[in-house]
Amino acid sequence: MQIRELAISGAWELTPKQFGDDRGVFLEWYKATEFTAAVGAPVMLAQANCSVSAAGVLRGIHYTDNPPGQAKYVTCARGAFLDVVVDLRVGSPTFGQWDSVLIDDVDRRAVYLSAGLGHAILSLEDNSTVIYLCSLEYSPELDHDVSPLDPDLRIDWPTVGRNGEPLDYSLSAKDSVARSFAQARADGLLPTFGA
């Protein structure tokens, strides 16, 4: 497995070795020893989620109060997503910046993001399926959102899907009314770096 830290401290891209033959493909999408050596701690599993999305579905930017925080280990089982990590940690050297990884059913990369980071995904084709491991069970009282389309964040969302068709973004009702990055900061809802 190749592990590369992203431009945002506390986030990594993981690219597994794939072994294929005429029967299909095998890969290890998580291996505790390699992950722990690179990241410094194993994934703490409290919940596992699966989400299937049509092309253009944009989910996030989601984050959880830190502490306790929620780390995520995310991969794509089918289709393709642009996975975006946003540094929402006040005081971080990369505060307000983002990085992205294409996760798909070809390279089968994964993304790990530490607690305190914001997360969003954009489906690049119909029936794309993301699965992710979470270090904290879903706790709605701890969850927050920042608009993924906030112009202050300048996230470069693709406008064309994997099949070359234009993408029409589709957000949940909750994500459609999410605070701006500036408002979340003004309201004291952003995590603190080093928490």
For residue 86, the Cα-to-chain-centroid distance in whole angstroms is 9
Catalytic residue chosen out of the listed positions 63, 73, 112, 132: 132
| 16: preceding bond cis by omega (within 30 degrees) | no
Q: Distance between CA atoms of 152 and 185, rounded to whole angstroms? A: 12
* 157 C-beta neighbours (distance < 10 Å), count: 15
Integer Rg of the chain from CA: 16
Asked if 73 is an active-site residue, the reply is no
Q: How is residue 180 annotated by DSSP?
A: P
Asked if 119 is an active-site residue, the reply is no
Helix H or strand E encompassing 182: helix 181-186
Spatial CA neighbour of 162 closest among 48, 76, 60, 69? 76
Q: Distance between CA atoms of 112 and 99, rounded to whole angstroms? A: 12
Catalytic residue chosen out of the listed positions 62, 63, 73, 144: 62
Positions marked catalytic:
62, 132
